A and B are shown apart, each in its own frame.
Chain A
Amino acid sequence: MKLLIKGGRIVDPASRIDGIFDILIEKGKIVDIKSNIGTQLAKSINASNLIVSPGFIDMHVHLREPGQEDKETIRTGSLAAAKGGFTSIACMPNTIPVNDNQGVTKFILSEAKKNTSVNVFPIAAITKDQKGEELTDMADLKNAGAVAFSDDGQPVYDSQTMRHTLEYSKLLNFLIIDHCEDKNLSRNGVMHEGYYSYLFGLKGIPSSSEDVIVARNIILAEKADARIHLAHLSTKLSVELIQNAKKKGIKVTTEVTPHHMFLNDSDLKTYDTNLKVNPPIRSNKDSKALIEAVKDGIIDVFVTDHAPHTPDEKTVEFNEAPFGINGLETAVSLILDRLVNKKIISLEKFIEMISLKPAHILGLENKGKICVGADADLTILDINKEIVVDVNKFESKSRNNPFHGWKLKGSPVMTIVGGKVVYPF
């Protein structure tokens, strides 16, 4: 059965196309793009007044399975992704057990194949059990389907280990992702260190805990002439370090979350544990710098760092709550409302950062673009649709999202993966 998307405004940063065209899909691929394709033999979807974009890709997600299925499963996380407009997600290896061997990678892929409608790409650990000591069998893991390597919340702490990792990554062009945090500087911290942490009496996580590891990673990447992707940037100085590195031609890429752009540390006055996240929500000065860095192209991609935790785990003293924000179902509306509809960035720029660039960084050749022969992964948006965030309507198993009750303009309305409509369900 063919699928025809009629009359939508196609915005494709890869080809710089922005116009009203029809798209014909057959066997999971895009087979034709032009005006007024006939409707015979095809199921037709009316996309007039809507935006048709290459499918969104979230390269920083925690699916919790195997091991913590009370928080999320591969299935529920994927439903959340589909509803949030994502056609592909890359999941971090901090499962129990850690995704540090082919067995876990294959388990994730087979569960995804059985139970999900979006593409799930496992990210494997850099070191065994994320301990920062012995490297995993990276070529083996890549063969099994790992698209990248990261020790997730555990930065690769030993600089010599990171150096070897970056050197080895050149073997098969592995993508190395690092969470930049000096754990000595951040020890026992629960929020951004600054005026508000002193006011609220909470132990701070200084910006320097991120900055020193960002600087180290840039230095090591330059020395190894390897590429590195720095996760969830949160500070102004990190932005400056990366800007400088890019100018020098060092192969560094980076990402930012909606919560780091649209919230700041003064919001923690209610001790809402849904605002507890690592890296922490930082100062107004930092969030402004992140948005400027998006505009200036210093930051490459938008991610959610989707980190589900159960209500029970979050309904505790602030110090006791786990770090993490549940983000898959709010990210697109937040960015459309706060950046696109407010004309801070163009729609094309948004799509580039949430589809084309992550596809490129992860090496997903047939994704992130709308052209004949590309995978038929599409996200359809209504940039005028007004929504109110309601965590109780989440597809995710968890509810830990601080944007509950926010009124936002702009929303994904349909998600198509491999030529099949996966949302609305």
Chain B
Amino acid sequence: MAFNHKHLLGIEHLSDFDIMTVLNTAESFLEISTREVKKVPILRGKTIINLYFEPSTRTRNSFELAAKRLSADITNFSKLNSSTVKGETLKDTVLNLEAMKADAIVVRHSCAGAPYFISTFCTSHIINAGDGAHEHPTQALLDAFTIRQEKKKIKGLKVIIVGDILHSRVARSNIFLLKKLGANIVLVAPPGLIPEELKRLGVNIDYNLDRALEGADVIMMLRIQMERQEKNFFPSIREYRNLFSLTEERFRRANKNAIIMHPGPINRGVEISADLADSVKSVILKQVENGVAVRMAVLYLLLGGKEREITD
């Protein structure tokens, strides 16, 4: 199984073959998490640092469990409990952690490009767990995995991504990935939150959610970032909800077997009605479940665990 990359910094520079390799590898890891003893010794003796400069629930725990299920040792770093608050630079922080002999560093950072920057002076494998508004590659991989699981294909599907596209790393990584695998993508949001220039990536843009929903197979909702409200991207949450919230009534416009996805965290009742989020149409918790297998696959492919050892 060839995956010739030292790091996973983003989806943009992966080939469709690379992506399929990760998805297929994840397929074989899925079952491990359902065992009574959820552990295989593939990465025994490997050390992974889970480096978080931004809050995270899903990604951080998902990587931690993925590492543990592969028997790697993992240590968690979070900015607030670190010397970063004493003014230590990112470079010094990473070099110090690496000096403890890490094999891989999983990094979440609010600045776009931070994982790339780390990769320029580190010898470890670097995995981007989300950098600013740039990329969140493992999220896109687990989203694609979930779509494939539900729909049995990706090519030719109509995928709509609704919400704060401008600030969303999830949107960028998904656009790159789903375009490579042949999906048709429509981005939906108020105009100020969708840069027209993104059309150069081969996506369509629609400001009307009702229209975009017609014929949609996959509806990917993004959190509306309340903290950016002051900036007048749209007038109020109330008006946003009226125009862009996914409700039962709106959802009927989509294809019959359409699925609803969300990378989390959800603002219930804002971008999506609580009932829909909890309905059978929603695969939100499936995404989370699959995330562990996808991250196991990424760690395995990068850290070079021995092939087919997973049958244990």
Chain A residues in the interface with B (C-beta under 8 A): 194-195, 198-203, 270-271, 312, 315-320
Chain B residues contacting A199 (CB-CB under 8 Å) are 12, 172
Q: Are A195 and B112 in contact (CB under 8 A)?
A: no
| CA–CA, A200 and B133, complex, Å | 8
Distance of A198 Cα from B200 Cα, bound (Å): 11
Q: Which of B111, B166, B195 contacts A317 (CB 8 A)?
A: B111
12 residue pairs from A and B, CB less than 8 Å apart: A195-B198, A198-B197, A201-B133, A201-B135, A202-B132, A202-B134, A271-B113, A271-B117, A316-B91, A317-B90, A317-B111, A317-B117
Closest A residue to B12 by beta carbon equals: A199
Q: For B133, what are the chain A residues with a Cβ–Cβ distance below 8 Å?
A: 201-203
Q: List the B side residues contacting A317 at CB < 8 Å.
A: 90, 109, 111, 113-114, 117
B68 within 8 A of A: no
Contact with A along B93-127 (1 / 0, CB 8 A): 00000000000000001111110110000000000
Asked whether B149 is an interface residue with its Cβ less than 8 Å from the other chain, the reply is no
Do A320 and B91 touch (CB < 8 A)? no
* Nearest-CB residue, chain A, relative to B120: A270
Let me know if B111 and A318 touch, CB within 8 A: yes
Closest chain B residue to A193, Cβ basis: B195
Say whether B169 faces chain A, with CB atoms less than 8 Å apart: yes
Contact with A along B158-173 (1 / 0, CB 8 A): 0000000010010010
> Contacts of A312 on B, CB cut-off 8 Å?
89
Are A319 and B198 within 8 A (Cβ)?
no
- A319: chain B residues within 8 A (beta carbon): 110-112, 132
Bound: A194/B131 CA distance, A: 19
Size category of the binding interface on chain B:
20 to 34
The 4 closest A-B pairs by CB, nearest first: A201-B134, A271-B113, A201-B112, A201-B133
With both beta carbons as reference points, the residue of chain B lying nearest to A320 in the complex is identified as B111
1/0 per residue, CB under 8 A from A, across B197-212: the answer is: 1101000000000000
Chain B nearest Cβ from A52, distance in angstroms:
44
User: B112, A271: Cβ atoms under 8 Å?
Assistant: yes
Q: How far is the CA of A195 from the CA of B91 in the complex (A)?
A: 29
Cross-interface CB contact of A316 among B90, B134, B166, B169, cutoff 8 Å: B90
Q: Which residues of chain A are near B132, meaning CB under 8 Å?
A: 201-202, 319
A195, B197: Cβ atoms closer than 8 Å = yes
CB pair A198–B195 under 8 Å, yes or no, is yes
Which positions 79-93 of chain B face chain A at CB distance < 8 Å? 89-91
Pick the most buried of A198, A202, A317: most chain B CB atoms within 10 A of its CB.
A317
Residue contact B89 to A315, C-beta cutoff 8 Å: yes
Contact (Cβ within 8 A) A201 B197:
no
The answer to whether A271 and B116 touch (CB under 8 A), given A200-B134, A317-B90, is yes
Q: How far is the CB of B108 from chain A (nearest CB, A)?
A: 13
Q: Which residues of A contact B109 (CB under 8 A)?
A: 317
A202 to B109, CA, bound (A): 13
Given the complex, which residues of A lie within 8 Å of B12, measured CB to CB? 199
Across the interface, B113 reaches (CB within 8 A) one of A194, A195, A200, namely A200
Instruction: Provide the B248-282 mask, 1 if CB < 8 A to any CB of A, else 0.
Output: 00000000000000000000000000000000000
A201–B116 touching, CB < 8 Å: no
Chain B hits for A200, CB < 8 A = 112-113, 134
> Known: A201-B133, A271-B116. Contact between A194 and B197, CB under 8 A?
yes
A300 to chain B, nearest CB (A): 32
What's the nearest-Cβ distance from chain B to residue A282, in Å?
Answer: 14
With both beta carbons as reference points, the residue of chain B lying nearest to A194 in the complex is identified as B197
Closest to B167 in A: A201
| New A-B contacts (17) at CB < 8 Å, excluding given A198-B166, A201-B135, A320-B111 | A195-B195, A198-B195, A198-B197, A199-B12, A200-B112, A200-B134, A201-B113, A201-B132, A202-B133, A312-B89, A317-B90, A317-B113, A317-B114, A318-B111, A318-B112, A318-B113, A319-B110
Give the residues in chain B near A320, CB-CB below 8 Å.
Answer: 111
Query: Shortest Cβ distance from A320 into chain B, in angstroms?
Result: 7
B200 / chain A contacts, CB cutoff of 8 Å: 195
Q: Which residues of B contact A271 (CB under 8 A)?
A: 112-113, 116-117
> Which residues on the B side are within 8 Å of A203 (C-beta)?
133
Closest to B169 in A: A201
> With a CB–CB cut-off of 8 A, which chain B residues contact A316?
89-91, 117
A376 to B166 Cα, complex, angstroms: 56
Q: Which of A194, A195, A202, A318 contacts B117 (CB 8 A)?
A: A318
Q: Cβ of B113 and Cβ of A315 under 8 Å apart?
A: no
Q: Which residue of A lies closest to B89 (CB)?
A: A316
Q: Digitize B215-246: 1 where CB-to-A-CB distance is under 8 Å, 0 elsewhere.
A: 00000000000000000000000000000000
CA–CA, A320 and B90, complex, Å:
10
List A contacts of B195 (CB < 8 A): 195, 198
Contact A202/B113 with A194-B197, A195-B197 known, Cβ cut-off 8 Å: yes
Query: What residues of chain A lie closer than 8 Å to B169, measured between beta carbons?
Result: 201
* Contact A198-B135, Cβ < 8 Å, known A271-B112, A315-B91, A317-B117: no
The docked-state distance in angstroms from the alpha carbon of A194 to that of B134 is 14
Which chain A positions have C-beta within 8 A of B117? 271, 316-318
Chain B residues with Cβ under 8 A from A202's Cβ?
Answer: 112-113, 132-134
Query: Known: A317-B109, A317-B111. Is A270-B116 also a contact (CB below 8 A)?
Result: yes
Q: How far is the CA of A202 from the CA of B113 in the complex (A)?
A: 8
**Distance of A319 Cα from B133 Cα, bound (Å):** 12
Docked pose: A315 CA to B114 CA in angstroms: 11
Of chain B, the residue at the smallest CB distance from A319 is B111
In the complex, which residues of chain B have a beta carbon less than 8 angstroms from the beta carbon of A198?
166, 195, 197-198
Tell me the minimal C-beta distance from A198 to chain B in angstroms.
Answer: 5
Q: How far is the CA of A318 from the CA of B12 in the complex (A)?
A: 19
